[in-house]
Chains A and B, each alone.
Chain A
Amino acid sequence: METNKIIERLKTIVKPYVQNEQAFQDFGQDTDFIKDLEINSANLVDIVLDVEDEFDIAIDNDSMDNMMTVQDAVQIIKAKKQEA
């Protein structure tokens, strides 16, 4: 799966939870969900559950803890897709 396509799909998932619209305009690999987009930890759980459904993968606690940026999410999605 191409990185760009994953990022596009992530952007759609994340959109409803974003607090900082300005940062969302620059959504990219380096975007930090909490620091840049100002998403709270409760909504980050909703995002992870949406990612599981969208990409048909299961995300464990360790992966969740390491999912700080878009790049982290892309790597986790790619790794889980390969396992499957």
Chain B
Amino acid sequence: MNQNTQIINSLPYAEPFLFVDELEEVTENGTSGTYTFRADADFYSGHFKDNPVTPGVILTECMAQIGVVCLGIFLMKDQENLSNYQVALSSTEVDFFLPVFPGEKVTVTSEKVYFRFQKLKCKVRMHNAEGKLICRGEISGMLRRHE
């Protein structure tokens, strides 16, 4: 199993809340990966009525999973057992430019701002299949030891 598959398998998410299909690149400084929004996802029946558009919170979650959590797992790989830690989202500041419709494939890329005292802050961007910017922002998360 290659490193990137191993990272995806270490993610603390499962269906229907896993928003990572593929990790293309992971380095000390950032990640890139893709996700295709399932056309039959439950939230499309209510967001919006008769007009399915992927909710911004879900786009943010997808950016956090690929851009921040996958990088965090990579950066912690030399540490003690990862299962001793819990991930917590600590802040998001995201601007949105284009809608994402059911079935669309997106690419997320992140760039580390800092990783200090178990806090990882990243600049994250999401592009669509045409390479156009969907959203971008800064997302931070903390790793906490289980009590």
Report A's interface with B, CB cutoff 8 A.
40-43, 45, 48-49, 61, 64
Query: Does B117 contact A48, Cβ atoms closer than 8 Å?
Result: yes
Chain B residues within 8 Å of chain A by Cβ, number: 11
Report B's interface with A, CB cutoff 8 A.
88, 90-91, 114, 116-119, 140, 142, 144
Question: Which residue of B is nearest A65, CB measured?
Answer: B117
Query: Does A61 contact B90, Cβ atoms closer than 8 Å?
Result: no
Tell me what chain B mostly uses at the interface: helix, strand, loop, or mixed.
Answer: strand
> Which residues of the other chain, A, contact B117 by a CB distance below 8 angstroms?
45, 48, 61, 64
Given A41-B142, A42-B140, are A49 and B116 also a contact pair (CB < 8 Å)?
yes
Contact of A45 among B88, B119, B144 (CB under 8 A): B119
> Which residues of the other chain, B, contact A61 by a CB distance below 8 angstroms?
117
Q: A45-B119, A49-B116 are in contact. List 6 more A-B contacts (CB 8 A).
A: A42-B88, A42-B119, A42-B142, A43-B90, A45-B118, A64-B117
Please, how many angstroms separate the alpha-carbon atoms of A49 and B88 in the complex?
A: 20
> Which residues of the other chain, A, contact B140 by a CB distance below 8 angstroms?
42
Question: Which residue of A is nearest B119, CB measured?
Answer: A45
Contact of A40 among B90, B114, B116, B118 (CB under 8 A): B90
In the complex, what's the smallest C-beta–C-beta distance from B92 to chain A, in angstroms? Answer: 12
